[in-house]
Amino acid sequence: MKFIKTKLRDVILIKPAIFKDNRGCFQESYHIDKFRDNGISIPFIQDNLVFSKQNVLRGLHYQCKNPQGKLVRVLQGEILDVAVDIRKKSPTYGNWISEKLNDENQYQLYIPDGFAHGYLVLSKTALVYYKCTNIYFPEYDSGIIWNDKSIGIKWGIENPILSEKDRNLNIL
């Protein structure tokens, strides 16, 4: 496993070692010691699985109290995964990164609390699996509108498919 720091402090791209042979493949997707040695020591306590269709954009979400860190991966399909730094005292406040995660590269993106998270489905469908460092509290659910001009995320789409909730999110 390779742990690659991104331009946003504490957001880490994880590239697994994939071992292929005539039977298929094997990979280690989580190892507590390797994660701890690379700066990810908080425990994961909730797992989520999401199926979406092409051009669905989910996010940008965060919890204003009891925040969640996330470890995101794609089991089937491809997404453009985005993290936005919303830590007001951070030197990268309002900055964002994106990574293509798919079933081919098997990359994972670790997004700690203090970041808004969202993704756009690039393939016909996608099955996204993510681990969370806190449970979901709907009363603290918040978010940023996907096309906030002050952030300027390059999604590569004009009219994504959005939930009613995501259509009505605020600006940063």
**Can 61 be counted among the known catalytic residues?**
yes
61, 62, 110, 117: the catalytic one is 61
Angle at 72 between CA 50 and CA 145, to 5 degrees: 75
119, 130, 136, 140: the catalytic one is 130
**Can 31 be counted among the known catalytic residues?**
no
Going by C-beta distance under 8 Å and a sequence separation of 6 or more, which residues neighbour residue 55?
A: 120, 121, 157, 159, 160, 161
Of 115, 120, 138, residue with least CA distance to 80: 120
Going by C-beta distance under 8 Å and a sequence separation of 6 or more, which residues neighbour residue 138?
A: none
Nearest-angstrom CA–CA distance, 43 and 11: 16
By annotation, the residues acting in catalysis are: 61, 130
